Amino acid sequence: MVTQVSLVPAGPPSQSGCQAGTVGFTCSFTLQVDYSNAPAGSTVGGTVTGTASEPGAPSETRSTTFEIPVNPSAGMVTDTVRLFFTQNPCIEASSAYAATDLPNAVSSQVVAFGRICAPPFTVTAVTLTADDPSQTGCLQGPAGYVCSFTVVVEYANAQPGSQITGSVTGTDAPPQVPPLVSVGRFTITADPSAGIGSTTVSLVFTTNPCVEDSTAAAATDQPNVASSTPVRFGRVCTPG
């Protein structure tokens, strides 16, 4: 009895996608079938079905059958299955699944496959602004002085649900004392129609930073690394 079926594209998504041949593209998958109570000489059989699509071309659906001998004591069998398409499938619009019919019907989850066709989601610019007025500096709180910053991130090719993550690092380095460093993380949900997003980040210091000695910068780490130019923050401590 088949208990579970899984299908995984062979290799991670890439710009090249499925293997090119003389008249089309061969897409490879790893098929795994879990089973129980298999008598000697048993086989598992079924079909792998894939639908491929790329911009400017009609989608095409291809299927291939499989029949695999099983070891009664193993409980699992794997095999490589290939589908042939005339177009090079895009992972954003192509999917496949496997289904057994021998000895019983079980289906896998649907998986995406093919090459990456959409331009990658990318942060293009990061800007950091210190929000506290220089006359008074950061706001005193129970844990220390809270310094507020606004992070503005520009991006391209966001998809629904895309997120940008990163951090703001501030350093208060007055003369003749060890520098104080504070780091705050941020997450921005990217609106595909906007191209820009912002958030507020707070950093805490044990002393009230002076603008003459304090700098901060923002940097993203997902979907890519991008940094702002450093900005000064804190109160004015030296008149002039």
160-170: average pLDDT: 95
Q: Let me know if residue 75 belongs to a domain.
A: yes
pLDDT at 134: 86
pLDDT digits (tens, 9 = 90+) for 129-162: 999 998 889 999 999 999 999 999 999 999 888 9
Q: Residue 219 maps to which CATH number?
A: 2.60.40.10
The reported pLDDT for the residue numbered 119 is 82
- Do 54 and 99 lie in one domain? The reply is yes
Q: Count the domains in the chain.
A: 2
Across-strand partners of 219? 167, 227
- For 206, the domain range is 122-232
- State the pLDDT at residue 221: 96
Q: What is the mean pLDDT of the chain?
A: 93
pLDDT of residue 201: 98
* Structure confidence by residue, pLDDT tens digits, 186-213: 999 999 999 999 999 999 999 999 999 9
Do 106 and 6 share a structural domain?
yes
Whether 137 and 221 share a structural domain:
yes
Give the C-alpha separation, 109 to 8, whole Å.
Answer: 10
Final residue of a domain: which of 91, 112, 133? 112
Same domain, 76 and 128: no
Q: Judge whether residue 58 has pLDDT over 90.
A: no
Residue 237 falls inside a structural domain: no
d(CA 226, CA 124): 7
pLDDT at 37 over 60: yes
Does 56 share its domain with 85? Answer: yes
Cis peptide before 69 (omega within 30 of 0): no
Q: For residue 64, what pLDDT is reported?
A: 97
User: Of 85, 112, 139, which closes a domain?
Assistant: 112
Shared domain for 127 and 63, answered yes or no, is no
| Residue recorded with tokens 């400017």 | 56
Whether residue 147 lies inside any domain: the answer is: yes
- What is the model's pLDDT at position 15? 63
Domain contains 238: no
Domain's final residue, options 71, 89, 112: 112
Give the percent of the chain with pLDDT over 70: 97
Q: Quote the CA–CA distance of 86 and 190 in Å, as a whole number.
A: 35
Residues 94 and 140 in one domain: no
